[in-house]
Structure 1
Amino acid sequence: MSDTPSLTTTEPLRVPSGGIMLPTLSILGGLLLWELAVRAFELPSYLLPAPSEVLEVMAERWPLLLDQLGYTAFAACVGFVIALVVAIALGALIAASPAFERVIYVWLVIIHAIPKVVVAPLLLVWIGFGLKSSIIFVVVFTFFPMLVNTVSGLRSADPDLLLLTRSMGANAWQTLRCVRLPSALPSIMAGIKISITLAPLGAVIGEFVASNKGLGHMLIQSVGSLEVPTAFAAVVVVSILGIATWYLAEFVERIAIPWHASQRATPRD
């Protein structure tokens, strides 16, 4: 009998994972090169602070950074939830009604094509100064990717299943809940993962022009007063918020669609 392994074995293929060692070494190496370059070229801190100086500022001003982070994170979360609810509801209507799509979709594309920063002064006039403007900016930044992925996912339902549910007398709501929505979940989750990292960006840009609080306001004030290490500290905190939201979306995806091929193929070791 041959000792060659059978090609029909049911044992799952295990893909070795690199763990976190290589990414960690890459980050530490980049920070070390940054530190050495600043010291070798004797760059002033108002031009490019060293990582050690940024970390020192973060340690000294951590209570203030944490307070501003809470304000920015609240605007990002509220705006993202609003965009998610509206995108899924509107996507369901567009997928269900071609006539509705022809009427509304062109307007959505036009609105998405307008540069977001251009409308910032108008939002300040229309909505006012404060948290509301930041939330609206988050909605504007995060809405369209989720809408497009929702429509695409709802339209990807198996036609045979749709015919089967109709033959069994299912109404539009039952078809949406039992067939279209489950088949659309992978696409919806992809849109969520794209949009959720844009939520902190939208909040920060909103704070640039229409807020006296938050990491965006802190960043623009620090740059204006040439406190560049503080500005870098704010950027680092915003980046950490973006990374955290990404991994939160991945966690939700694993819970929502554990049956999908993308999750079964993901190495866990």
Structure 2
Amino acid sequence: MEDAVTETRTRSAGPPAGAVESAAKVGGPWRPTQPVNVGLPLLGLVIAMAFWWLVTTGLGLVHPAALPPPLAVAESFVDARGVLIPALGITTVMTVQGFLLSAVAGVLIGIALAASRHLERMFAPLLVAVNAVPKIALGPLLVVSFGWGTKPILIMVFLLCFFPIVLSTVTGLTTTPADLAELARSLHASWWQSFRKVRFPAALPQVFVGLKVAMPLAAIGAVIGEFYSDRPGLGYQILQYNGVGETATAWAAIVLIAVMSIGLYSVLSLVERLALPWVRATTSAR
């Protein structure tokens, strides 16, 4: 039975024969970087910058006090780089720590809800209710409850991230292909054998969908948490510079948050490619 269940896992989540080679052909994790993969993002950046310049300088549709031109933001970044670069490091650390905490807790909660229909019916409405609460309204309350420092920031990141991770984990674990689930039952596999060799490997693509949705939310949560914290991250700097009328520097901090989010999302996508090399080989490509 052990060998048959192992074969079941291979059919559901592991790479079939030749899948690694096929993955390399259709876009596996180790394929060489193609010019289009670099050129298209750069083209998108150029278009975005041109649009930014057009609405601020070319057509003057937005007042510089609300949205400074790109050149002014770049100059402000150069002038304040001694403050903004360390702030970027602080926000990145808070984002990654909160995301990892949310990932571990979200996957475990999702496994518990998927394992018991009674638990799902009992706690799913509460999770929806917690997710619906405006998180920015909780900022002052978190400071009062947990004091200054990193705890309010990590809790804010957790509150923003955990729901999509839980939802994707539950969805993945409850949508195991029927033929594979039936095969595991016919082999009298235990719950743990079925979970370890069939259900969880098959759910990993869905789990990564939730993780990739949660990653940008982690950056948002870290910035919101820093609004009400004494940690001098990018969120703290945005408030400080905006408060003294240096909106260009505040926008430079916002741009750094966007760059940080893109970098972390790219790292997570790379982890997905390395952990699940068979997915692109066994699914239809665009």
Fold in common (TM above 0.5)? yes
What's 1:57 paired with? 76
Contact 2:150 2:231 in 1 (8 A): no
Structural mapping, 1:61-100, within 5 Å: 61-100=80-119
What's 1:143 paired with? 162
What's 1:178 paired with? 197
Task: Give yes or no for the alignment of 1:216 onto 2:267.
Answer: no
Match of 2:255 among 213, 236, 248: 236
How much has 1:42 moved relative to structure 2? 11
Contact 1:57 1:233 in 2 (8 A): yes
Structural mapping, 1:32-51, within 5 Å: 32-35=50-53, 38-39=56-57, 41=60, 45-51=64-70
Contact 1:138 1:200 in 2 (8 A): yes
- SS where residue 61 of structure 1 aligns? helix
Tell me the alpha carbon deviations over residues 118-148 of structure 1, each in whole angstroms, 9 at most, x when there is no partner.
Answer: 2222212111122111111110111000100
Worse-superposed segment, 197-206 or 116-125: 116-125
How much has 1:207 moved relative to structure 2? 0.6
What's 1:201 paired with? 220
Match of 1:21 among 20, 39, 57: 39
How much has 1:164 moved relative to structure 2? 2.9
Match of 1:31 among 12, 34, 49: 49
Q: Whole-Å Cα distance in 2 between the matches of residues 77 and 239 of structure 1?
A: 15
Task: Give yes or no for the alignment of 1:115 onto 2:144.
Answer: no
- TM-score (normalised: structure 2): 0.81
Structure 1 residues 59 and 101, CA gap change in structure 2 (3 angstroms)? same
Number of aligned positions between the proteins? 257
Structure 1 residues 236 and 160, CA gap change in structure 2 (3 angstroms)? same
Q: Whole-Å Cα distance in 1 between the matches of residues 61 and 216 of structure 2?
A: 35
Tell me the alpha carbon deviations over residues 121-180 of structure 1, each in whole angstroms, 9 at most, x when there is no partner.
Answer: 221211112211111111011100010000000011123333333443432222211111
Unmatched tracts of structure 2, length 5 or more: 1-21, 28-33
- TM-score (normalised: structure 1): 0.85
Which amino acid in 2 is paired with 1:69?
Answer: L
Structure 1 residues 85 and 230, CA gap change in structure 2 (3 angstroms)? same
Q: Percent identity?
A: 34
Which amino acid in 1 is paired with 2:67?
Answer: L
How much has 1:17 moved relative to structure 2? 8.2
How much has 1:240 moved relative to structure 2? 0.3
Which amino acid in 1 is paired with 2:110?
Answer: G
Q: Whole-Å Cα distance in 1 between the matches of residues 173 and 100 of structure 2?
A: 20
Contact 1:138 1:201 in 2 (8 A): yes
- SS where residue 197 of structure 1 aligns? helix
- SS where residue 210 of structure 1 aligns? coil
What's 2:13 paired with? none
Worse-superposed segment, 165-174 or 79-88: 165-174
Tell me the alpha carbon deviations over residues 72-110 of structure 1, each in whole angstroms, 9 at most, x when there is no partner.
Answer: 111111111111111111111111111111221111111
Task: Give yes or no for the alignment of 1:129 onto 2:144.
Answer: no
Unmatched tracts of structure 1, length 5 or more: 1-10
Task: Give yes or no for the alignment of 1:156 onto 2:156.
Answer: no
Q: Whole-Å Cα distance in 2 between the matches of residues 62 and 170 of structure 1?
A: 59
- SS where residue 85 of structure 1 aligns? helix
Contact 1:134 1:211 in 2 (8 A): no
Structure 1 residues 44 and 107, CA gap change in structure 2 (3 angstroms)? closer
